[in-house]
Every structure is written in structure tokens, then in C-alpha cells.
Structure 1
């Protein structure tokens, strides 16, 4: 202010908005002896709405709600909630104060596989994108998260060998053998069978309705090969006798995995992750010459071609006929 000599000649003013006539509504923050002090006052100024800014935890919750609206799998939703717990110390902080450096230790101090870290980074960047849309932050800081190129690579999948499958067949009186062979001959994901209601198991028509994770994977037909139909019938009746609503009698995915480790060890077989039975099924289907489109439909992989994804309709009989072509030589010593 140069109209006269003043002890504090600098005034800090902020614009609050504009009226219908286009005139600015301003607010004075005070007078200051130096230009530097005036700029510091501007830097410290927080509008009333900023004081009610979204917290990091609120942004995470909004992202989880959006994920539920999008129909993401329960597994993915659980993963998002676990990530929120890992960030418990940050959830009450304003989103505008959070930077990539705040969550970078999750990636630096972890032995997670590279794919898992990429998924978690994807979650954080989606939170950042949401916060930008809500004007909580000026840009997506989470895109600055760094994943080391030396991170643990994706775990290599090892399919069950014919000799291993024969050994499991030879112990088919064991309940774990029955469950494991059902996984191998259906290609189902771990929780697709453990979480399957018996009401979705149709023994007489040799198929189940289930699935998770992707749009293509949900509510799909999972055919039951004739060779493992007795096992499905046994587990179905056993669950009904127990009064359980689930096909595997209420066994969780984690419990099955732990029992599988002991079961395979008792047979002198190497440890297999439950997902490897899915890879084994796909491999066996390919070797048996089953139509690749049919394989995708059975395991719940999305079709990449519009004709494949929209116009290729298959009957349950086609599904069951396909899986009946899977090899059952393991039943003999041949």
C-alpha cells in the first residue's frame, strides 16, 4: 500500500469467490511489515471448506464402496480392507497431506511378489484419482510409488504331473483326495468350491453354478466330469447330513490349503498351491484337444473376441462332454 508511509505497508488478501455481477468477494488476512510476511500469511491460510477436508481413511472407504458398486470380488474387497489396516497410522490424516513417501515403506519393507505390489499400487493410485476428482488433492501423488525391479517375481506355477495325479487317485477313499481331484478336474478357484452353496450343485445334471473374481467368472456353469461325479455326490450328501449349506461342509479356503500340504506330504508328493490344480485342468484340457473357447468359459476367463464373448453359447451337455475327454488313465497302472 503506497498511498502513504505505513509501518505495515503490505496487505494479504484472498479471493473467496465471485458474485452474480462478476465482482470478486475478498477477505483481508492482515497487514504486514514485509512482503515475505504477507506471502507467509497467504501460505498459511486455510478456507473453511479445507478445514473439513477428506481424510486418507475416508478416501479409502469411498474407494471400497465404489469397488462394491463395480461388483469386484469379495476377495478383492477383503484385500482393500487389509491395506487400510496396514495404513492405520495414516487414516486420520487429511488427504491433502499424504504423499507417496508415506506409503512407500509398505513396498520397500515387503517380501510380497511383484504382481501383488503392482495390485496394491493400483489400489493407491485409484484412491489418488478419486481424491483428485473430489478436489482433495491437486494431483495423484501415488503415481510416484516405486516398485523395485528386484522385487520377488511372480510365483511359478507347477502343474500336477500324471504320476502325482495317479498317486492321488490311488488314495481316493480319502476326503482330501476327493476334494483335490475335484479341483483338478473342474479348474475351479480355491474359494469357488469351499464357498459354494449345495443349492448350486446339481449332481443329476452334472454341473455346478458358481464363480468369483471377474464378470466372466461369476455365475458360470462348472461341469463335473463323469470320473469325479462320485466324489461330488459323496461330498454333497456329506454336507447335507451335517446340515451344512456349503458343498465342502464349511471348510474354508485356508483350512483346505493347510490340509492339502499335510495330505501331499503324507503321500510323499511335493507341495502344490491350490491354484496349481486350476493350471493343471487348463493344461489337461489343452492336451485333450478341447475347444479353447469352451476352456475359457469353464474356467471363467473373459473372451477377447466379440464373437466369442457374445455369440458363442454352449449347452451344459457340451460342457460335460468336453470334460469327459480328460484323461483317467491314472485309475490303472497303464
Structure 2
């Protein structure tokens, strides 16, 4: 193996020479990589670089801009993530990263560039969660570049990662939920709001729900697909592996689903051949898919008429979780209904409810034991 030791170097003296083939003039091309502590480290790095070269993944660092590297990284990344995640990642690269730091040569990218980039994102007023997602794309792409020996080190790994300061989530109480459901009862899309409150489903999951995934006899429904944020396509699976889940339904929700199905059946009879059979639970009066932005418009209209505290559609999901936890339902059950990847996410997200729940549990235990004791 073409691995050598620089006798003049005091430390990190080992280096390798990677043969890149020949240029247009037939001249042999080599790439030298220095900075390894031991011969074994240099040999390992050479094997990885040679493997990348054989797969067509190796690019000479001195001749590539960060945006050019990102283009190739995206192609590979899209093979390992879901379509919706791939679209989001591509949008982040195109909208945020490339315009700011894309023209910097990959090998010249440093910590100051990354820190300045993150600072600029904050100045633009972007949400903490958005900034964290953008940074994660930069960090992940540079991790790969380091593994491919395109950069000496992932310079993003040395700065403090952006933190998300979770705002206290808004949720309605029982009376507010009852008021809204009564107001929305005669709305054609009532079932969408009913499902959000009674199951904790996300908007994309509700708009992707099909009748084939609903078991009215067993009072169950299964999340197997979602609609994309722009409404252009359906994505199989869910936001995460745990998002593909089965949710038990109360009798009232089964009744609401039956009523909704009867309504859509009548619409199909009235329209006839022009009706498009999509199999979707929530669809337009013509049977076509309901776009997220269209449902958001209906939601905003109803919310404005209700006089209730202003919350987002997504907060109906938080309302579901909050009401269940306040009822004393175990956090594990709530986590499963929401499709969280771990119970810790549920506990962290709804920790503000736990102190009151602990107090109620303590009082309940005291009454159960000592009330019985006093009766003896």
C-alpha cells in the first residue's frame, strides 16, 4: 500500500498517496493526504478513500465547492430516507444552505463560516426548530465528507448545536372542546376535527386515512400513509416507524365515522360518474383528496366563529394528549396513540402537566388508604 512516513514531521507524520488514474493528457494523477498518527490509521483512511473512488463517490477536495458536494451527497442521502424527508432536505439545501455558504470550497469551510451561518439564521427570525433542522443537514453532510476523507474534520461538530426552546403548548379544556365540536358538527369536514381531538392524529395522517384502514366493527383504525405538506402526493408509512400504529376508537367516533361515510355515499350517488373514488375518509365533495391548506382554511373559519382561544390545528393533537393524561391515562398509552418513538418524548413534551397529576395521585392514594383505615 502507498503509505509513507514523513521523516521531517515531528507528529502526525504518516500519509497516503491515492492514485486517481490519468488526466486528459494521459498523465497519472495522485492525491496525497497527510496528518495521520500511525501507519495503521493512514492505511485505514486509504482503504476508505479507495472504496469511495471505486464507487464514484470520491471527489478531489481542492476542486469542489460545498454546493457541488451537497448535490452529490443529496443523491446518496435520498436513497436512505423517506420521500417527504428527502424533499424537505433538498429544500433546506436549496433555500438556506447554498445561498449562504454554498460557494465556499469544501476544503476551506471552517468553524467561523458555520457559526456565522447559524447566527444569520437567527437574525432572519427563523423558528428554533427550523434552525436546528438546517444545522443538522450541514452537520450530517460534513460528517459524511469527513468519512470520505474529503475534509480533515467536520467543522460543524465543534460549535454548539442550536437548541429548541419549546414553548408551552396550547390545548383546550373539556368545555372548549365540547363547544367547538358542537359548532363544527354540521360542517362537511367535521370528521377531520373530531379525529384530531379523539385520536391525536396529525393533519397529514388524517388526510391520508383510507376506509380500508378503518375497522368500524373492531373500533380501530391504522395509520399507514400520510399526505405530503404540499398535498401533491401520498407517502407510505408515517413520520417515523412508530408512527405506523393502530388506534382504538371510542363508540362516539365510530358513530361519527359511520355518519360521515353515509354522507359521502350520498354525494357519490348525486354526482354519479363524475365522482372520483379515492377511498379516502376525508375527501372533497367530488371524492378527490383534500389539500392541507384547504383544511386549514376551514379550520381558521370555524375557529374565528367559535370565540375560543386561538390554537393551531396541530394543537388539537396536544389537546388529545393533555386530556388523556389529566384523566390519568398512562403516558405509555398516550405515547403509543400519538406515535412517538419513545415514551420519553411524551414525558418531555407534556412535563408541565405532571406536577398536578402527581398531586392528584398522592391525594387519591391518601384518601384510598386512610379513608378505609378510619372506617375500620
> TM-score scaled to structure 1, two decimals?
0.66
Q: Provide the C-alpha distance between the structure 2 equivalents of 1:154 and 1:18, rounded to a whole number of angstroms.
A: 48
User: Quick check: 1:195–1:252 contact (8 Å CA) kept in 2?
Assistant: no
Name 2:298's counterpart in structure 1: 259
Q: CA-to-partner distance for each residue in 1:66-94, whole Å, 9 max, x for gaps?
A: 3652x45x553332122122134455764
1:127 is matched with which residue: 141, 147, 152? 141
Q: Provide the C-alpha distance between the structure 2 equivalents of 1:181 and 1:304, rounded to a whole number of angstroms.
A: 25
Alignment pair present for 1:231 and 2:256: yes
Q: Provide the C-alpha distance between the structure 2 equivalents of 1:65 and 1:200, rounded to a whole number of angstroms.
A: 33
Q: Provide the C-alpha distance between the structure 2 equivalents of 1:18 and 1:224, rounded to a whole number of angstroms.
A: 62
Q: CA RMSD in A?
A: 3.4
Q: Provide the C-alpha distance between the structure 1 equivalents of 2:154 and 2:295, rounded to a whole number of angstroms.
A: 41
Alignment pair present for 1:293 and 2:321: no
Name 1:166's counterpart in structure 2: 178
Structure 2 residues without counterparts, runs of 5 or longer: 1-14, 20-27, 31-58, 225-237, 269-274, 284-288, 345-376
Q: CA-to-partner distance for each residue in 1:241-292, whole Å, 9 max, x for gaps?
A: 3422322111222322232111110122232212211111112222333333
> Larger relative CO (CA 8 A, sep 6+): 1 or 2?
1
More helix by share: 2
Alignment pair present for 1:138 and 2:149: no
User: Quick check: 1:264–1:271 contact (8 Å CA) kept in 2?
Assistant: yes
1:208 is matched with which residue: 221, 234, 242? 221
User: Quick check: 1:132–1:138 contact (8 Å CA) kept in 2?
Assistant: yes
Q: Provide the C-alpha distance between the structure 1 equivalents of 2:162 and 2:336, rounded to a whole number of angstroms.
A: 36
- How far off its partner does 1:185 sit? 0.3
Name 1:185's counterpart in structure 2: 198
> TM-score scaled to structure 2, two decimals?
0.59
Give the 5 Å matches for 1:31-42. none
User: Quick check: 1:179–1:231 contact (8 Å CA) kept in 2?
Assistant: no
Structure 1 residues without counterparts, runs of 5 or longer: 1-14, 20-24, 28-47, 306-334
Q: How many residues align?
A: 261
Q: Provide the C-alpha distance between the structure 1 equivalents of 2:90 and 2:129, rounded to a whole number of angstroms.
A: 18
SS at match of 1:247: coil
1:278 is matched with which residue: 317, 328, 334? 317
Larger radius of gyration, structure 1 or 2? 1
Q: Provide the C-alpha distance between the structure 2 equivalents of 1:287 and 1:246, rounded to a whole number of angstroms.
A: 33
Q: Provide the C-alpha distance between the structure 1 equivalents of 2:106 and 2:261, rounded to a whole number of angstroms.
A: 50
User: Quick check: 2:220–2:249 contact (8 Å CA) kept in 1?
Assistant: yes
